[in-house]
Amino acid sequence: MREFFSKYKTFALVMLLLSAIIVTLFYSALKPEQTLPVYQPTDFDAKLVDSSIQLVRKYHTIADFSLLNQNGKTITQEDYRDKIYIADFFFTTCPSICPIMTRNMADLQEELKEQEDVMLLSHSVTPEIDSVPRLKAYALENGVIDEKWNLLTGPKKDIYELARKSYLVVQEDGDGGPFDMIHTENFVLVDKERRIRGTYDGTKKEDMERLLADVEILRESYDD
């Protein structure tokens, strides 16, 4: 009996290994691949979307831009070429949700700092106040890594159009001028093709956890 088991030991081990491989492949085949939706203007609250694109159902992408960052450097879409990035809108003198959003963005920066294909992008909705020196001071106060996270200022019309026609994250302020904005707490996940792949409440930790998970799903989709 002992000789029998000794004789077929190698065969049994090979069969066991093959069985494990087959089960793994079978499980992988049955397991649905995780993907993220591609969002269009029609998927958003109309209050956040410029009237000119409210009925757009496909092919929506983030428009080209040219704005100054905290170091006075001109930042364009070229700086985000082949990058996944997380965008938001804020202002440095905001006393309510912005400090929470900035802390959460700083936490995301820490979690993602080793991932060179993921960047952060924050736009000021009060560019007349948030000059380059003010943004630089704000960046230093909040531990911004220049190579990872740009804080942008520039012509208010340009920022307004990005917010309303590209990122779909601010409401019009009817009490002010034509480009006055009421920004939301939303963080926007953008893929390497400039498409919106998710929105998240930038004041909630649970949404930041969901955002990090979605970033990983998106990154893995480019490894296939």
* 125 labelled binding-site residue: no
Is residue 123 within 8 Å of residue 156, measured between CB atoms?
no
Phi and psi, residue 49, nearest 5°: -120, 135
Strands 170-172 and 74-76, sheet pairing: unpaired
Strands 170-172 and 181-183, sheet pairing: antiparallel
Measured CA to CA in angstroms, residue 172 lies from 34, 48, 179 at distances of 35, 8, 7
* 123 labelled binding-site residue: no
Question: Distance between CA 78 and CA 119 in Å, rounded?
Answer: 13
Question: Distance between CA 146 and CA 135 in Å, rounded?
Answer: 12
* 94 labelled binding-site residue: yes
- For 49, which DSSP code? S
- Please enumerate, by residue number, every residue annotated as part of a binding site: 94, 98, 183
- Please enumerate, by residue number, every residue annotated as part of a binding site for Cu cation: 94, 98, 183
